[in-house]
A and B are shown apart, each in its own frame.
Chain A
Amino acid sequence: MSAEGSRLVRKTSIAAAVVVLSNVAGNASLSRGLRGHGPAPGAGPLAYVAAFLDPWVAAGVCLLILWMLSRMALLSWADLSYVLPVTASGYVLTAIAGHFLLGEHLSATRWAGTVLIVAGVALVGVTDPLTKERKP
């Protein structure tokens, strides 16, 4: 692999890790803050403003802003059809966070699904991040 190719792979790995970790931590934090007392379906804007005052929700929103920005940066050089499955490893970490941090039940079927996702991520991870000509 060329030096430019190695640089792109290394940069993509770091960016994908930031995207995945910020998404998992953000979602877990939001879930922790919203469970049972978040805005109900059809609630007005004030219910959402009130939800933001919860420290778990506020931390979750900050992490999800980091997720959005890092994902936009990743999409500036990597294909969407590459980014989607590679960042899907977040589903596995979300399942683990839901089980161990939030005490949610995970059945054998959900663990099997987790294994399938890992296989899919591994398969896409060996392809080039960018298949089209890069903009100079």
Chain B
Amino acid sequence: MTWPLVATIVGATIAADVLQSVEMKRHGEIRDFRPGTLGRAVVALARRWPLILAVFFMAVSFFAFMTLLSVADLTFAVPATAATYVFETILARCYLKERVTWKRWAGAALVAGGVAMLAL
């Protein structure tokens, strides 16, 4: 049951992160961190359906993570779900059209390699 839970977490996290990145960029940079302004920003963001969908996927990921933590070590559960790095960097390049420089590719590859070693 461990690996299906990991796959659920990875799939849901990828969907949530890509949706969040698109919608937060569309909203624009948050510059004012006063509680009132932040509250208004949250209310405005809560009306965007892709962001609602992102929160839904985050919830799926969270409950699967809770279940995983009840049967596996923290030092296994967290690194094992980092397969998201590779997929999300590819999506950032192909779907979000971010300029992924060689340093970012190399950095993502090192992180993915390191995460794989943590999971051993």
Interface residues of A (CB under 8 A from B): 27-28, 30-31, 34-43, 48, 51, 64, 68-69, 71-73, 75-77, 79-85, 88, 90-91, 94-95, 97-99, 102, 104, 106-107, 109-110, 112-124, 126-127, 131-132, 134-136
Contacts and interface: CB of A to CB of B under 8 A. Distances in A.
A73 B70 contact: no
A28 B74 contact: yes
Given A114-B114, A123-B107, A41 B71 contact: yes
Nearest to B86: A84
Tell me what chain A mostly uses at the interface: helix, strand, loop, or mixed.
helix
B51 to A, nearest CB: 8
Q: How large is the interface on B (under 10, 10 to 19, 20 to 34, 35 or more residues)?
A: 35 or more
B118 A120 contact: no
Contacts of A127: 101, 103-104, 107
B108 A85 contact: yes
B118 A91 contact: yes
B88 A80 contact: yes
B66 A34 contact: yes
Contacts of B85: 84-85, 88
Contact of B97 (A35, A51, A95, A132): A132
A121 B107 contact: yes
Which of B67, B88, B107 is most buried by chain A, counting CB atoms within 10 A of its CB? B107
